[in-house]
Structure 1
């Protein structure tokens, strides 16, 4: 459903969850783009985000990576704690490595439904695509193209929001079932976090505890201790400078070569990169459409 409403608010509150950095980049891009058009913007990680936004005009922009065809559990927990409002406008942006295709078309449905129960009016939703780092890697050339596309994609979204453009998607029925069933995988995330072993390569830097978006890691006598609120974001594993964190389950989901957005940015992008060749196959259909519009 697409239509327009003549409404845009002065204040924008951006709330985001990010594990390996892709969603954080998107959130910061939104902040920059909104500030360019004169909006006053606040940026908060979901674990530190306020739960009261008042009744005054303002837009809430929520961003999160798609985990198990849904939002991270921490995002749902935050929404449950939100104080009710009356008609405050909200937008939901999901970020994935595969794009808007099955099984991800319902990844925003539960979040939007819960926001509406709290009195928010969700007028805009969209999928952004960032480099894939779960089970399979999108490859350096394709990842570079996605990073380069991000600012323009965000500027286009901000332009639509500024103009009062309204868009709501219609998830595939089967994806609604998949998204609901994927709650079991969210429960499995707790076991995944508990299974992470700390090897002798650990240098007790504390980076994993400092950067965990779920606050699931604490340092005890120089050793990382994992709690029961892992969201399976992979941030600690890929962010460890010595590769000292090794999960003992779902090992195949972790890229052997690791994952680092900064390193990808520094890699040389082949001239005349062929998007169709880089996105060959059904599993990259959503990425291909995202980059080419076809």
Structure 2
């Protein structure tokens, strides 16, 4: 069974493509996470968790969901992480999670996809994004072949920088950067409520027909990137940057 969480479509596309290749069920975790649904799950086949990389580890909200959900049937689990550059030493923490869950860790695969973290980085143009996805598809197919054959993912060498990124930098990233204080809406907002619908933490509400952000943001960037009028900004950094969603994900 393939379980995925995705803010702007990268991990959704990877999960669906892998599902097609290995002929397995693909389940979006959005509603489960949003509704705090930790009901027991069962799969005869290996579990495959496909998620974006947040500061060189899996998102905290996904980690918390996994910790509080019972997985029955197969004890084997793969992790596939989409990222803009690399996943650092994420595997170290996933091994600990699997030990905690009494599951067999089959490795963590890295899939470089178009950057969507518009709060800190530059997002690609549509043409640039398609080129990145085209390069990623070869890697996705290779990942699918390991899963299909029941083989563990080969693991890359971990540098000191990787250890720092997934360790101390991740520890500092959430308290220092993961908040919604810089989100605001411009006059082009049409009060459609799309941002409320795509928020996995129910962190957005409407006041006077305009979105207002609370304190439970996970920085998935779904609201700002999926706004149909590009009416949401994040401080000054997002000004003029293209909004990114994975167009190919819509084909699956």
Smaller-chain TM-score range?
Answer: 0.7 to 0.9
Q: Does 1:144 align with 2:127?
A: no
User: Of the candidates 22, 25, 29, which is equivalent to residue 34 of structure 1?
Assistant: 22
Task: Give per-residue Cα distances to partners, 1:14-73, cap 9 Å, x unaligned.
Answer: 2222112211111121222222xxx4x14122551655235x633211111112122222
Q: What residue is the counterpart of 1:120 in the other structure?
A: 103
Distance 1:178 1:226 in 2: 28
Q: State the 1:94 CA deviation.
A: 0.7
User: Of the candidates 210, 219, 229, which is equivalent to residue 206 of structure 2?
Assistant: 219
Over the aligned positions, Cα root-mean-square deviation in angstroms equals 2.8
Distance 1:86 1:75, change over 3 A: same
User: Of the candidates 45, 57, 69, which is equivalent to residue 44 of structure 2?
Assistant: 57
Runs of at least 5 residues in structure 2 that lack an aligned partner in the other structure: none
Distance 2:67 2:213 in 1: 24
Q: What residue is the counterpart of 2:244 in the other structure?
A: 260
Aligned length: 240
TM-score computed with the length of structure 2 as normaliser: 0.82
Q: Output aligned runs, 1:1-294, within 5 Å.
A: 12=1, 14-35=2-23, 39=24, 41-48=25-32, 50-54=38-42, 57-83=44-70, 88-98=75-85, 100=86, 104-134=87-117, 135-169=121-155, 170-181=157-168, 182-191=170-179, 193-248=180-235, 251-252=236-237, 254=238, 256-261=240-245
Runs of at least 5 residues in structure 1 that lack an aligned partner in the other structure: 1-11, 266-294
The structure with the largest alpha-carbon Rg is: 1
Task: Give per-residue Cα distances to partners, 1:81-106, cap 9 Å, x unaligned.
Answer: 123769711100111111x4xxx321
Q: State the 1:209 CA deviation.
A: 0.9
Q: State the 1:77 CA deviation.
A: 1.4
Distance 1:123 1:152, change over 3 A: same
Distance 1:30 1:221, change over 3 A: farther
